[in-house]
A and B are shown apart, each in its own frame.
Chain A
Amino acid sequence: MIAAPKPDLVTVNIDGVDLSVPKGTNVIEAAKLLHKDVPHYCYHPKLSVAGNCRMCMIEMGTPAFDPATKAPVIDPATGKQKINWIPRPQIGCGTTVSPGLHVKTSSPMVKDAREGVMEFLLINHPLDCPICDQAGECKLQEQATGYGRGYSRFIEEKNVKPKRTQLGPRVTLDDERCILCSRCVRFSKEIARDDVLGFVDRGSYSTLTCHPGKKLENNYSLNTVDICPVGALTSTDFRFKMRVWFLKQTHTLDIESSVGVNAVVWSREGTIYRLTPRRNDEVNDTWMADSGRILYKQVAATDRLTAVRLNGADTSLDIALNAAAALLKDGSVSIVGSGRASVEEQFLLKQLATPIGAQGHLVARTATGDKLLISADRNPNIRGALVTGLISQLPSAELKQLSREIDEGKIKTVVSHGEDLLAAGLTAAQLAKVAVIYIGTHANATSAAAQIVLPALHTYEKAGTFVNQQFRIQKFYAAVPGPQGATNDLVVLAKLVASTGASAPASEVHALWPSIAATVPALSSMLYKNIPDTGLLLDATAWAGLPFVEGESLHFKPAAVAAAEGARS
């Protein structure tokens, strides 16, 4: 790693505390470093500054200089340089730090200004909190606690605006609640690069709307719901489903592609209600694609596998594992791992493959990337298989080598970890020639044809790690328990490994990591609990030569592009 050049630091004074911050930081971010909250609605750290909500008022002053001599003016009372306080409050988001800048974030004037802003915002805001989905995570509610009046002086009729406008297939607008912060407008323009939203009309008639003939239907539209500080933009999927204060938040990862978007699973009592992005400035900032958010529906899908099956009949896990062990002992085994499995599972598959001399395969899934948060590689963890040594070459979409070996009669047993072999290029006739051990979550053609079916857990039901396109290893945790009948993949794999005669590996993530660290060079001296929430970059030089399919996306440049840029500079 090349050490980043030290940014130019600027010393400011916030509420009497001196603080060095990088040049270009605004007052809200500088105050945040001191854990001082400057309330705001329109400001968003990843969007341009609009400065139109006027909530982040602060009092500021600059050191006084003699206009003639440019010499500092010293206050005789204190012996320090005199501060020229600006008599009116300023907005914190639009004020970048300058040397010697003095800021008051909670002076009476500031509080008065904020209370005035709050009263104006609440004049036309409907009293919808009991039915509003934003209640509980609403910035307006939060700030009303600190700066609200408690009663309204407004006796006139409130504005009436449309309550249920469909801005797009996934977003519903409640116009009455909108406080015109324009975060959604800026997001569409700057991040999604799909400039569909805007305000029309003036004054209290101002309304958020789509440009004529357009709809908010890009694959990032739900981010507008996330960043909406009030309940104006709501997710049509999550609307009126559950109050947010009941939901448990579990850190997880997007399983849509190799970008490894950090996400949060919101669940209550074993039911997942929604997925939202989690801020990681190295990977996804605060964004997530809509297509990744609906993947939680796989968890409660009707075609989940919940019964252990042996030759088409329900059986117990132990009997099925014994049968599988017998098949593995006969030799001539091939293992098809999955790019959707965790590093730990791929590690155990490698442990299974080594003693029985089986070769590991993976199935590639590729599609066009969107250059933002969906990459061309739609497997979240191909690099995990490389790191653990399950595969040494990049996989292809079809299992040509396995197909050939089956035809030649070299393979008698195939272990598939969640991959549909028929979709990966094998024919039904080929499958009929071999015994298939299928460890997976959902029913498909392969599970129907398999001799042994071992139901497993979905990503949101188990803990583990993925290695994303940056070779960043990131953790996810179990959000909900699995369905009855399904067993953790690690437990199944550990028992299969033990049945080959090798010493039984641990079947729990934390307990397994010491042996992973001891076996896998790239992961040496790491432990699951020590991996930070924002992930850890691995040394990827060993795989630098491989032709990865990913193109450029947010915070990621393929090695070739990076090398070319490096050569240019």
Chain B
Amino acid sequence: MATITVERKPLSLLERTYIPNIVAGLTTTFKRMVKPTETLQYPEQRPAIPTGYRGVPTLVNDPHGREKCVSCQLCEFVCPPKAIRITPGEIANDDPNAHVEKRPKAFEIDMLRCIYCGLCQEVCPEEAIFLQNQYSMTGYTRAEMVNNKDRLYELGGTLPDQHYKWDKKKTAAEAASRGGHH
């Protein structure tokens, strides 16, 4: 690699006293001092959350109220700090969502372990887990910092997408049982 030697310009006498630079610095800080502050008064003022923000991971329902998670456990597998713990369960035959067959019996995310990387959201094949706007997760005990399934759905709400993958499947099955396309 070629080395280029840059000649350093010798300082003038005035520069060597530092005084012009000190005065310039003092001017800058004084100007800054009389300007309004930039700080957000946090609990009262809240920051605007940009789109794509990675907040607390949550679970979502579809617009029909069906829980989207089918407990495939891919998020549990991909989670780098192993914060997610899922206990899979079968959906009972008399359940309206019986055709989905599988749902989480328990779904826990340990927010003390979570690193908000968003890999769970990225890997989810059912678009059931999302890192949403919630950024302030606090608690007094370790147990409080573990979000269970109920809390995750409470935080997550409903995802207003119109896929209805499983509902379409149910419709097809019902059509078949009535003698439609096999």
Contacts and interface: CB of A to CB of B under 8 A. Distances in A.
User: CB atoms of A and B under 8 A apart anywhere in the complex?
Assistant: yes
Interface of A: 126-127, 129-131, 135, 157-161, 163-164, 204-205, 239-243, 245-246
Contact of A129 (B72, B99, B165, B182): B72
Given A163-B99, A204-B182, A240-B89, A157 B172 contact: yes
B63 interface: no
Contacts of B72: 129-131, 135, 243
B178 to A, nearest CB: 11
A163 B70 contact: no
Contacts of B73: 242-243, 246
Interface residues of B, number: 24
A48 to B, nearest CB: 30
B46 interface: no
A291 to B, nearest CB: 24
B125 A240 contact: no
A242 B182 contact: no
A130 B88 contact: no
Interface in B47-89: 70-74, 76-77, 88-89
B70 A243 contact: no
Contacts of A130: 70, 72, 74, 125-126
Contacts, number: 51
18 contacts: A127-B165, A130-B72, A130-B74, A130-B125, A131-B102, A158-B172, A159-B182, A160-B172, A160-B173, A160-B175, A160-B176, A160-B181, A163-B101, A163-B173, A239-B90, A240-B88, A242-B88, A245-B77
A275 B27 CA distance: 77
B125 A129 contact: yes
A164 B90 CA distance: 12
B90 A240 contact: yes
A342 to B, nearest CB: 34
Nearest to A245: B77
A159 B173 CA distance: 9
Contacts of B172: 157-158, 160
Contact of A243 (B77, B125, B176): B77
B125 to A, nearest CB: 5
Contacts of A158: 172
Given A135-B72, A160-B176, A239-B90, A246 B77 contact: yes
Given A131-B71, A131-B72, A160-B182, 17 more contacts: A127-B165, A129-B125, A130-B72, A130-B126, A157-B172, A160-B175, A163-B99, A164-B101, A205-B182, A239-B90, A240-B88, A240-B102, A241-B88, A242-B88, A243-B77, A246-B76, A246-B77
Contacts of B176: 160
Contacts of B125: 129-130
Contacts of B175: 160
A157 B180 CA distance: 11
B182 A240 contact: no
